[in-house]
Structure 1
Amino acid sequence: MVIRIRLLFDEVKHLPLIETETELIKRASEGNPEAFEVLVQRYQKYVYNLALSVIGNRDEAFDAAQETFIRAWRSLKDFRGDARFSTWIYRIAYRVSLTAVARKRPLPIDDLPEPICEDASANPEEAAENDYRQALLRRAIMNLAPAYRTALILYHLEDLSYEEIASITGVPIGTVRTHLHRGRNYLKREIVRLSGGDENEM
């Protein structure tokens, strides 16, 4: 089966109308490609966004999303419903994305989601300073260990809860809290290192 991902495009046309996700999963696990394509349509953007948050590059995130659905199709017969389907496929996406990160260094930063910040004023000097801080923050984030980087991005940029992050990454909530705490500390140090400043000034 060729997995067709239509990320950021129009919805798939002429697919069977199946009301419940349980029925979709059942049919897909029995080898029905149309049912699985509906699942791909429902989750492709979420899987892609998760991969992008971890990897930081659009092309590689697209490849990771493609690989995620290929693995999901091959493993769907083993899905028992102990967890929600969304949790199951996000975990696959997370692991695929971490593998992609481990394969390539240095990591690109151009496509990392923009940090949320206040708008710069019309003053060109202030705008330039804001751009510098944004670039510095993005580079510092991408220099963190994947677990810390993912926790920070999902919590601060994607506005997910501890519980949601734990479900996606497959770790306890306490570990999510630890990753966030340590990630913030490491991020502060990395910003200082990159800027050549004094940590006490932050």
Structure 2
Amino acid sequence: MSVTANAIELDSGPPEDGLSGLTDEQLAARYQTSGCAESLDELLRRHLRKVRSLIFPMVLNDSRVDDLTQEVFLRAIRSLNGYRGEARFSTWLFRITWNVVCDERSRHESVLVHAKSLVGLASPHDGPDRVALQHELDCQIRLGLAALTPKLRAAMVLTSLQQLSAEEAAELEGCSTATMYWRIHEARRQLQARLASYLE
């Protein structure tokens, strides 16, 4: 993985020798104190897949995923000297990723998340109307997610789609764990109310 001022050549290859045993926080400190490019490469390599997995459900476009992943890592590199280890590096990077996703969402004024699993929906039964019903269901899920407030939507994506714990999601969103649990509950309630006819 190579880094320049305006671009990153993304690569998820094997780690550099001698760096695989270091924690993310140790790698960040090593980069801060010595400007070690190998430490930076290893940090980006470790988190490439997870950053992409958070971005993709929000944009559903491979080209945009690549662009936004580049933006995440460029922002992280520019801000890395300010990282003080008060939160885990992964949480710090997830916050940057989420900010990039929110910026993208604001630009397009819509949320492009496809997540039937978020509300426990079963697939329609096989039959001649299955394709049409599936399309209608997908549209209703998108509309339901778009109707959620940004905080409720974030709670669903982070905990159900990204499989973060409520504690991790709360840390990322800057709220208490109790508040995050309420957001998850309220988001599910609103989605299930909207999709009640499909849950029967």
TM-score for both structures, normalised by structure 2? 0.76
RMSD: 2.9
Match of 2:27 in 1: 24
- Work out the CA distance in 2 between the residues paired with 1:20 and 1:147: 34
Query: Is 1:163 aligned with 2:167?
Result: yes
Match of 1:176 in 2: 180
- Work out the CA distance in 2 between the residues paired with 1:102 and 1:166: 22
Per the TM alignment, residue 82 of structure 1 is displaced from its structure 2 partner at its CA by: 1.6
- Work out the CA distance in 2 between the residues paired with 1:12 and 1:133: 39
Per the TM alignment, residue 5 of structure 1 is displaced from its structure 2 partner at its CA by: 5.0
Match of 1:56 in 2: 59
**Structure 1 counterpart of 2:170, one-letter code:** A
Match of 1:66 in 2: 70
- Work out the CA distance in 1 between the residues paired with 2:15 and 2:170: 36
- Work out the CA distance in 2 between the residues paired with 1:129 and 1:63: 34
- Work out the CA distance in 2 between the residues paired with 1:129 and 1:100: 30
**Structure 2 counterpart of 1:20, one-letter code:** L
Return closer, same or farther for 1:158/1:23 CA change in 2, 3 Å cut-off: closer
- Work out the CA distance in 2 between the residues paired with 1:178 and 1:5: 40
Per the TM alignment, residue 85 of structure 1 is displaced from its structure 2 partner at its CA by: 0.8
Return closer, same or farther for 1:5/1:44 CA change in 2, 3 Å cut-off: farther
State the identity %.
Answer: 26
**Structure 1 counterpart of 2:161, one-letter code:** L
Do the aligned residues in 1 keep the contact of 2:15 with 2:42 (CA within 8 Å)?
no
TM-score for both structures, normalised by structure 1? 0.76
Do the aligned residues in 2 keep the contact of 1:94 with 1:169 (CA within 8 Å)?
no
**Higher deviation after alignment, 44-53 or 117-126:** 117-126
- Work out the CA distance in 2 between the residues paired with 1:13 and 1:43: 13
Do the aligned residues in 1 keep the contact of 2:8 with 2:74 (CA within 8 Å)?
no
> Which residues in structure 2 correspond to 1:102-141 (within 5 Å)?
102-107=106-111, 109=112, 112-116=113-117, 117-141=121-145
Partner SS, residue 77 of structure 1: helix
Return closer, same or farther for 1:97/1:24 CA change in 2, 3 Å cut-off: same
- Measured against aligned partners, the alpha-carbon deviations of 1:96-143 in whole angstroms (never above 9, x if no partner) come to 221222222244x3xx34422434443222453233213311232133
- Work out the CA distance in 1 between the residues paired with 2:39 and 2:136: 47
How many pairs align? 188
Query: Is 1:35 aligned with 2:36?
Result: no
Per the TM alignment, residue 15 of structure 1 is displaced from its structure 2 partner at its CA by: 3.5
Return closer, same or farther for 1:93/1:73 CA change in 2, 3 Å cut-off: same
Per the TM alignment, residue 162 of structure 1 is displaced from its structure 2 partner at its CA by: 0.9
**Structure 1 counterpart of 2:30, one-letter code:** R
**Structure 2 counterpart of 1:157, one-letter code:** L
Match of 2:83 in 1: 79
Q: Identify unmatched segments of 5+ residues in structure 2.
A: none
- Measured against aligned partners, the alpha-carbon deviations of 1:6-41 in whole angstroms (never above 9, x if no partner) come to 3xxx63358343120244222322322222111111
**Higher deviation after alignment, 98-107 or 179-188:** 179-188
**Structure 1 counterpart of 2:31, one-letter code:** A
